[in-house]
Amino acid sequence: MASGTRRDEQVRATRKALLDAAERLFAEYGVYAIANRQISEAAGQGNNTAVTYHFGTKADLVRALVRTHAEQIETIRTGMLAGIGDSSELRDWVDCSVRPVTRHLEELGRPSWYARFIAQVTADPALYAIAEEEFYAASPSLTRLEEGLTRCVPELPERVRAERALMTMHLIVQMSVDRERALADTTHTPRATWQDAATGLVDALVALWRAPVTRQP
C-alpha cells in the first residue's frame, strides 16, 4: 500500500512538472513551436516520451492545462455568483466575469503564465475550440453568468449580446496578458494590484455593455 501511495505521488508530481513546463513554454513561444521533448527536458524528465505517456497528444495536454485552471476559476466564480443572487445590477454580473480570472492570476503568484498561455490558445481556431469545450465542461456557472448578463441588457439584440460577450472575453484575456507580462518583467503597470486592475476593467466593460447600438438602415 505504501509503495502504491508513493507511486501515485510520483505520478502526480511528474504530471504537475510537465504541466508547469508546458504552460510556460507555450506562453512564451506558442503551442506549436514547442516539441514534447522540450517540455520533458524543461520538466526535468529524462524520458522524452513523458508527455505522451502521461497526457497523450498535444491537444490532450492543452485540454489538461485549460481544465486545471478552469476548475479553479469556477470555484471562485461559483462563490461570487452565490453572493449576488438574482441581482439586477449589470456591474455585479460583469464583476463575476472579470474577478474570478484576475483573482486566480493573483493567487498563482509571480511570475505566472496562465494569461499568456490562454492568449496563445485562443488565437488558434482549433485550440480555441478545445479551450471552449473544456471551459464549459468545467464551468457550469458560465451558463448562469450569461443568463444574468442577458437579463440586465434586454434591449440588446441577440447578435449584439453575442458580439459584446466575445469582446468581453478578449478584453479580459488581453488586459490580463499585459499585466502578467509586465509583472514578470518587473515593468510599470497602470494599476497597483490585480484587484485594482479588475476594477478598471469592470468599469470599461460595464460601459461597453451599455453602449448604444447603431441601427443599420
Question: Tens digits of per-residue pLDDT, 59-78?
Answer: 999 999 999 999 999 999 99
Per-residue pLDDT tens for 4-43?
688 888 889 999 999 999 999 999 999 999 999 999 999 9
- 37 and 92 both lie in a single domain: no
Cα–Cα distance for residue pair 175/118, rounded to 1 Å: 12
Domain span at residue 6?
Answer: 1-56
Helical segments of the chain, H only: 2-29, 36-42, 50-55, 58-84, 90-108, 114-122, 125-138, 141-152, 158-184, 194-210
Q: For residue 60, what pLDDT is reported? A: 94
Which pTM was predicted? 0.92
Domain assignment of residue 14, yes or no: yes
As a whole number of angstroms, the distance between CA 125 and CA 111 comes to 27
Contact (Cβ atoms closer than 8 angstroms) between residue 116 and residue 27: yes
Amino acid 47: pLDDT:
79
Whether residues 96 and 167 fall in one domain:
yes
Same domain, 25 and 123: no
How many angstroms separate the CA atoms of 95 and 79, rounded?
12
> Which of 26-40, 45-59, 109-123, 128-142 has the weakest average pLDDT?
45-59
Angle at 12 between CA 7 and CA 16, to 5 degrees: 150
pLDDT in tens, 110-119: 999 999 999 9
For residue 163, the tally of other CB atoms under 10 A from its CB is: 13
Residue 146 sits in the same domain as residue 67: yes
47 three-state secondary structure? coil
| 22 and 128, same domain (yes or no) | no
The reply to whether 89 and 187 lie within a common domain is yes
**Could you tell me if residue 215 is inside a domain?**
no
Residue 43 has a pLDDT of: 93
pLDDT, position 3: 62
